[in-house]
Structure 1
Amino acid sequence: MSVRHFLTLNDFRPEELQRIIERAVELKDAHRNGQLTPTLQGRTLAMLFEKASTRTRVSFEAGMAQLGGHALFLAPGDTQLGRGETIEDTARVISRMVDAVMIRNHSQALLERFAEYSRVPVINALTDRFHPCQLMADMQTWIEARGRIAGCTAAWVGDGNNMCQSYIHAARQFGFSLRIATPPGYEPDADIVDRGGAAVRLGNDPAAAVDGVDLVITDTWTSMGGDHERDQRLADFRAFQVNAALMARAAPDALFMHCLPAHRGEEVTDEVIDGPQSLVWEEAENRLHVQKALLEFLIRPVTERG
């Protein structure tokens, strides 16, 4: 059987994504009840980080420990990849020693090259184009709060970045409508929007995008490594802040999400992120549980999955 990778949400069928989320809820309940789930005992995850992160490292490392396995943290200077070894050679070597590889880096193309030469599953923990693990946590959070999300409507307000592009994939895979509002020139990739089809509506008016929706999502206006653009972005995005006035245009029971870290007072106000409609802390915790379910799905033999 060929190796399965998780490079985008589109690598799995909708029913597989749903099954992973259902398992994540089970693992979350078990963890909160103090029940041990050592389903990956003796298994090892290599974690390759080109971009730093709090939530990604803690959630994957803690997740493997809770499943009875082990995680190896590898910063750029810890591997020969940082000294000129080819992606292909690094993939060939590392994948002979571990059971899965998690990569958080700047380039989706590099991730795909690594996966092509890997003998074990490769997980996208964030690239310049997509952030599928975060979307799985978001979908788990939405389902836990509202049950069924098919047929609902979400609004993305802000930069058409990797999170936005993964939300486009999620809209198709989970059956909800997505309205996107970005400043002119900050839209997501046109080909990704086109493949979103009728599920996606793109515009430049945050008020119109949020009107009556069930979920409002945003992200930082300046991504890691983009400090040289900060002043220009602050000016361009000023009208795209998610504040109480904007949230009031959504449905009365609308939810708010943000993948964190948040730049409070920029893309979101304290009143919203700390308010009763915000699920950001549950969303952050769910990275742990849904990634455990994903690791189980990819690493455990098919006969053990049930």
Structure 2
Amino acid sequence: MFQGKNFLKEIDFSREELEYLIDFSIHLKDLKKRGIPHEYMKGQNIALLFEKTSTRTRSAFTVAANDLGAAPEFLGANDIQLGKKESVEDTAIVLGSMFDGIEFRGFSQQMAEDLGKYAGVPVWNGLTDEWHPTQMIADYMTLKEEFGELAGRTLVYCGDGRNNVANSLLVTGAILGVNVTIASPKSLFPDEKLVKMAEEYAAKSGAKVTVTDDAVKAVENADALYADVWVSMGEEDKFEERVNLLKPYQINKELVSHIKGDYIFLHCLPAFHDTETKYGKDVAEKFGVEEMEVTDEVFRSPQARQFEQAENRMHSIKAIMAATNGNLFIPKV
């Protein structure tokens, strides 16, 4: 069921399978905290292919592989020839003959799919321009840890509604029975085909899918507020446009005051909540904006769970790798 399977996008898995991965992540986190070994992939070698840089994804895959008894090998953008001097198919065949599993973090979803098609070993998507499936297991794991159950909870995403995180949150939530609202400018609404897909999943799970440009109304019943950077990797030339367009969707004290009940704040990081980064300083100097998608006040508030969420990247990635390549006994789900 999981063994030998790729993890490339959420829609390749059933609700029961995604729920299993979330619960298994929580279990492995407990084992880690109690110092109980869980070397389900002892003796394996794992390739980590990174076209796009990362802090959390690289760290999470490295620590997860080590905890599982596997040896990770990092291959950065300057180390691989994917689609440049060597075809994806040829690269996949070679790496698949040497490694027991391959992580890919890059731009093209098709490249991830092709790696999975030709490698002959499990391929895990660490992020592409279309989907961010490993992030989703961590995100909904964090939500379940906080509230106990997922079904019927409401997650509200504020910002660029067409990026990979928004896509994945919308569809994964719909599969899991979580109500998901995307609050963004109309020009940045998710693709209509994606929304329709989410609505079809929601009809089966009982979830509600909402896309709106009214941030205040969107957050009223939120259990979780989610922010992401206003400018994704590869779109740095659009800073001014995005800053002006997305200011009304900033998660700040005024916006959260409209939430009727208790809530948590989530962010996949990095976050531009102050000017302690080069990007933050540049934006402040050029556009007079010292906080972008979330204010420092909300980022540091008691509701903030972004660092627990970040830690959960490691536990959830460990669960994904172990389930697909760890020879586990997993009852049919």
TM-score, normalized by length of structure 2?
0.88
In the other structure, the counterpart of 2:74 is 73
The secondary structure found in structure 2 opposite 1:93 is helix
Q: Which residue of structure 2 aligns with residue 254 of structure 1?
A: 263
Structure 2: tracts of 5 or more residues without a match: 203-207, 274-290
Please give the alpha-carbon distance, in whole angstroms, between the structure 2 residues aligned to 1:251 and 1:287.
29
Q: Are 2:326 and 1:300 aligned? A: yes
CA separation in 2, counterparts of 1:191 and 1:18?
A: 25
Kept after mapping to 1: 8 A contact 2:21/2:316: yes
Residue 203 of structure 1 aligns with which residue?
A: 212
2:134 and 2:113 map into 1 onto residues whose CA distance is 16
Do 2:174 and 2:180's aligned partners in 1 also have CA atoms closer than 8 Å?
no
Matched, 1:230 2:239: yes
SS at match of 2:82: helix
Q: Match for 1:243 among 245, 252, 255?
A: 252
**Residue 34 (structure 2) aligns with:** 33
Write out per-residue CA displacement over residues 132-151 of structure 1, whole angstroms, 9 at most, x where no aligned residue: 11111011111011001101
- Structure 1 match to 2:141: 140
- In structure 1, C-alpha distance between the alignment counterparts of 2:313 and 2:209, rounded to whole Å: 25
Amino acid at match of 1:286: N
Matched residue type, 1:253: D
SS where residue 16 of structure 2 aligns?
helix
In structure 1, distance between residues paired with 2:187 and 2:271: 22
Q: For residues 45 and 105 of structure 1, what CA distance do their matches in structure 2 show? A: 17
User: Counterparts of 1:141 and 1:49 in 2: how far apart (Å)?
Assistant: 25
- Percent pairwise identity: 38
Aligned match of 2:309: 283
**How far is the alpha carbon of 1:83 from its aligned partner?**
4.5
* Candidates 171, 174, 181, aligned match of 1:169: 171
SS of match in other structure, 1:287: helix
Mapped to 2, the partners of 1:270 and 1:74 lie a distance apart of 35
> 1:140-165 deviations in whole A, cap 9, x for unaligned?
11101100110111111100110000
Q: Does 1:99 align with 2:100?
A: yes
Give 1:193's aligned amino acid: V
Letter in 2 for 1:46: A
**What corresponds to 1:193 in structure 2?**
195
Q: Does 1:216 align with 2:225?
A: yes
Q: CA deviation at 1:81?
A: 2.5
Deviation at 1:207, TM superposition (A): 0.7
Give the match for residue 178 of structure 1: 180
User: Are residue 16 (structure 1) and residue 17 (structure 2) matched?
Assistant: yes
Give deviations 1:15-70, integer Å, cap 9, x for gaps.
11111121211211121122221111101211100000000000000110011111
Aligned to 2:107, what secondary structure does the other structure show? coil
Which residue in 2 is equivalent to 1:119?
Answer: 120
The number of aligned residues is 305
What per-residue deviation string (whole Å, max 9, x for no partner) do you get for residues 227-263 of structure 1? 1100111011111100112112223211110000001
Contact 1:107–1:127 (Cα < 8 Å) also in 2 = yes
Q: Which runs of 5+ in 1 are unaligned?
A: none
- SS at structure 1 position matched to 2:301: coil
| SS of 2:98 mapped into structure 1 | coil
Q: Quick check: 2:40–2:327 contact (8 Å CA) kept in 1?
A: no
Helix, strand or coil at the partner of 1:39: coil
Encode CA deviations 1:110-129: one digit per residue, 9 max, x unaligned.
21122121201111110001
Contact 1:154 1:217 in 2 (8 A): yes
What letter corresponds to residue 141 of structure 2 in structure 1? Answer: Q
1:62-101 deviation line (CA, Å, top 9, x unaligned): 1100111111100122123375100111111111211111
